[in-house]
Amino acid sequence: EHTLNREDGEEVFRKTLAFLKTLAKDFGKATVMVMGEPEAQQEDRWRTVRAARSELCDAGVALFPDIERATRTLGIYVRYLAERRA
């Protein structure tokens, strides 16, 4: 979100978003991100961040609102995989 403070922020934000969306597809790796609530109160920033979240989820990126939820969920997933292999 802080990138949007730059003069070329929208372009940099969009390029970064496009790169993140291609990670799993191009490299065959799962992509996990933590993306909390936008800090800015401006409506256009909220719309941009909400749209980014939607695009990332549509691209198959596992998106979490905070690090605690991400680590808890990944821990459950790792235990599940370990049990399947046992």
Q: Residue 29: what pLDDT?
A: 65
Q: How far apart are the first and last CA of the chain?
A: 43
Q: Is the pLDDT of residue 19 over 80?
A: yes
Mean pLDDT of 43-64: 83
Give the pLDDT band (50/70/90) at residue 42.
Answer: confident
Give the pLDDT band (50/70/90) at residue 24.
Answer: low
Mean pLDDT of 5-24: 79
- Which tokens is 68 given? 């605690």
One-letter amino acid of 8: D
In terms of average pLDDT, the best of 20-29, 38-47, 67-76 is 67-76
